[in-house]
Amino acid sequence: MSGEGDEPQAIRKLAPGKLVIASHNAGKVREIRDLLGPYGIEPISAADLDLPEPEETGTTFVANAELKALQAADLSGLPALADDSGLCVDALNGDPGIFSARWAGETRDFGLAMSLVNDRLDALEPETGRDAHFVCALALAWPDGHVEWFEGRVDGTLVWPPRGENGFGYDAMFLPDGGGETFGEMDPQAKHAISHRADAFRQMVAAVL
C-alpha cells in the first residue's frame, strides 16, 4: 500500500541489494533477516550503521513504522524497512498496543511487561476473557520519501505463567489460535509460518519482490 497521497499508485519494486532494517531490537532484526534471506536482500541493521532511534510519536502501528523507515532511508541513502508491532489485549481496550515496548521499561524487561499485562487482567472480573492479537506494520521507505506499507495480524489467547524461551517480547505468554504451543515454545520456523510479522511479510513479498 502506498504511503504517498490519496490517489492509488503503482507499487514500487525493491531491487536486490542492501536494505536497512530500522530497528535496534536484535530479536526483531534476526526474524527479519530470516524472512528476507531467500530474496537476494542484504539486511543491515540500524545499529550496525549507528543510526539513532527516532521518538515514536505516531498514534498507530503504521505511523510509527513509517517514521522509523523514512528516517533510516534519509540518513543512510538506502531503502529501509521498519517494523512496528505490539500486543493488543481485548479486555484491556487494546493495550499495551503501540506502547508494547514501553511497558517493558527502559531496560526492555519483557518479563516485567508480561507481568503487568497479567496483573491488569487479574484485576478484572474473574470471567474476563484473555483474547489478544499481535499486529505488525511494515513500512518500506526509499531515500526520496516514497513509502509502501503492509499490516499483518495473528489472533490468540494469553496464558500464565509464560511458557518457552524462544522468541522475544510477549511471545512466551501468547498462544496462537488453534495451536498447542506459545510463540515462546515454538521452533522459530514454525512461528515464522503463522506470525503477524510473517503475515505482513507475505503481503510485502507479493507486492514488491
Q: Which of 84, 95, 171, 199 is catalytic?
A: 84
84 is catalytic: yes
Residue 59 lies in a domain: yes
Query: What is residue 9's predicted lDDT score, i.e. its pLDDT?
Result: 62
pLDDT in tens, 111-145: 999 999 999 999 999 999 999 999 999 999 999 99
Distance of alpha carbon 43 from alpha carbon 80, whole angstroms:
9
pLDDT (tens digit per residue) in 146-155:
999 999 999 9
Residue with cell 542492501: 18
Q: Report the alpha-carbon distance of residue 205 to residue 6 in Å, rounded.
A: 23
* Residue 2, pLDDT above cutoff 70: no
- pLDDT at position 119 is 98
Looking at residue 5, its pLDDT comes to 45
The DSSP string of the chain is: -B-SSSS--PPPPPPSEEEEE----HHHHHHHHHHHGGGTEEEEETTTTTPPPPP---SSHHHHHHHHHHHHHHHHSS-EEEEEEEEEEGGGTT-BGGGTTGGGTTTT-HHHHHHHHHHHHHTS-TT---EEEEEEEEEEE-TTS-EEEEEEEEEEEE-SS---SSSSTTGGGEEETT-SS-TTTS-HHHHHHHSHHHHHHHHHHHHH-
For the chain, the domain total comes to: 1
Residue range 157-166: mean pLDDT, rounded: 97
Write the CATH number for 154. 3.90.950.10
The verdict on residue 44 lying in a domain is yes
Structural domain harbouring 189: 17-208
Determine, yes or no, domain membership for 57.
Answer: yes
Beta-bridge partners for 149 = 139
**5 in a domain, yes or no?**
no
The confidence score (pLDDT) of residue 149 equals 95
Please state, in angstroms and as integers, the Cα–Cα distance from residue 65 to each residue in 81, 165, 179, following that order.
Answer: 8, 27, 29
- Whether residue 3 lies inside any domain: the answer is no
Confidence of residue 1 (pLDDT cuts 50, 70, 90): low
Q: Is 7 within the bounds of a domain?
A: no
User: What percent of the chain is modeled with pLDDT above 90?
Assistant: 78
Contact (Cβ atoms closer than 8 angstroms) between residue 69 and residue 81: yes
Which pLDDT score is estimated for 169? Answer: 95
The set of cell numbers assigned to 36 is 528476507
Q: Output the pLDDT for position 130.
A: 98
Task: Give 26-66 pLDDT, tens digit per residue.
Answer: 888 888 888 887 888 989 999 999 999 898 899 999 999 99
| 9 occurs within a structural domain | no
Mean pLDDT over 92-100 rounds to: 97
Q: Is residue 139 part of a domain?
A: yes
Tell me what the pLDDT averaged over the chain comes to.
92
Region 69-80: what's the mean pLDDT? 97
